[in-house]
Amino acid sequence: MDTMRPMKPNSIFLVKVWPASVRVAHWLVAGGFLVLMTTGWILRSGRYLGEAPADFHVLASYPLLAGVALRIWVLVAHPAVGGWRALWPSADRLRAVPEMLKFYLSFGRLDLPRWFAHNPFWAPIYLLWILALAAQAGLGVVLLQGWGEDAVVRAWHAGLAEVLVAVFGFHLVAVVLHELRARRCDVSAMIHGWRVFDLPPLEGTEQTPPKARVVRFEPRADSSRAGGKGRK
Ligand code: HEM
């Protein structure tokens, strides 16, 4: 940092990005998934006998099912951030992918690109992930109901679980790396809906206080970006 010049303030914008439906679905799915992943691993390892892991596995499938059902409804019904179009690999989003890849390949040493709601690299993966979670939940129901060839359904369920756990591992590493590198409070944004946008320093003057300017935007009334009026 140049110590000779007075520090210029950044502009920090707080923008409502995530509608409540996306946030609720996210945490229902995440909570259910973590228990399903743990109990699924215990069941497969065969190390622990007793009914508890199987019972908790079935119990945790309810929040996951509820979250996936809500998310799929939002995918279809939401006009903006929650809708499937926000996850589709559009030309704009694909153009941002090399920048994200460079960031990951530098292990977070390069600057983290900026984005509005979904990370452009992850957006299409999120779409596939949501559909794969729905398929996994469906396989679970098929197993519980005893439909189909048990061994075959079980093998598909176990195989898909490995893919889902791997994606979750990458998701967690990516989210933590984004937080460490850019400090944009993305995880808390998934809780309250507001993301931090930190813009480059403004022209500082003697009168400008040496601290960030914080501006808070309410959701836009025309529903074109943040989910629209009334969509919280
Ligand atoms: C437990 C720790 C977790 C944390 C801290 C976390 C955090 C986040 C954050 C910050 C985002 C926004 C990323 C972006 O800017 O694109 C996000 C999105 C997402 N996360 Fe997670 N996540 C967690 C677990 C999970 C799990 C277990 C799943 C699924 C099994 C999951 C599925 C998703 C999906 C599908 C999105 C996209 C949002 C949407 O459109 O629904 N997350 N997560």
Give the CA count within 13 Å in the CB-facing half-sphere of 102: 9
pLDDT at 226: 40
Distance separating alpha carbons of residues 32 and 56, to the nearest angstrom: 10
Q: Rounded to the nearest whole angstrom, what is the distance from the C-alpha of residue 187 to the centroid of ligand 1?
A: 8
Q: Rounded to the nearest whole angstrom, what is the distance from the C-alpha of residue 26 to the centroid of ligand 1?
A: 6
* C-alpha closest to that of 178 among 86, 107, 130, 129: 107
Distance separating alpha carbons of residues 112 and 178, to the nearest angstrom: 7
- What is the CATH classification number for the domain harbouring 69? 1.20.950
The residues near 218 (Cβ < 8 Å, ≥ 6 apart) are: 16
Q: What is the DSSP letter of 193?
A: S
Can you read off the two tokens belonging to residue 129? 């992930």
Query: Containing domain of residue 79, as a range?
Result: 23-179
Q: Rounded to the nearest whole angstrom, what is the distance from the C-alpha of residue 171 to the centroid of ligand 1?
A: 7
pLDDT at 219: 47
Tens-binned pLDDT, residue by residue, of the chain (232 aa): 444 555 556 677 888 999 999 999 999 999 999 999 999 999 988 777 688 899 999 999 999 999 999 999 999 999 989 999 999 998 888 888 999 999 999 988 898 888 889 999 999 999 999 999 999 999 999 999 999 899 999 999 999 999 999 999 999 999 999 999 888 889 999 999 999 887 766 555 555 544 555 555 544 444 444 443 434 4
- 88 occurs within a structural domain: yes
pLDDT at 183: 84
pLDDT at 4: 53
- 207 occurs within a structural domain: no
Q: Is 129 in the pocket of ligand 1 (CB under 6 A)?
A: yes
- 140 occurs within a structural domain: yes
Residue whose CA lies nearest to ligand 1 atom number 42: 30
- 95 occurs within a structural domain: yes
| Ligand 1 atom at minimal distance to the Cα of residue 81 | 40
- 93 occurs within a structural domain: yes
For the chain, what is the domain count? 1
- 187 occurs within a structural domain: no
- 199 occurs within a structural domain: no
Q: Is 121 in the pocket of ligand 1 (CB under 6 A)?
A: no
Distance separating alpha carbons of residues 157 and 54, to the nearest angstrom: 14
- 228 occurs within a structural domain: no
Q: Hunting for tokens 């499938």 — which residue is that?
A: 61
Q: Rounded to the nearest whole angstrom, what is the distance from the C-alpha of residue 64 to the centroid of ligand 1?
A: 13
Distance separating alpha carbons of residues 186 and 168, to the nearest angstrom: 16
Q: Hunting for tokens 């499937």 — which residue is that?
A: 84
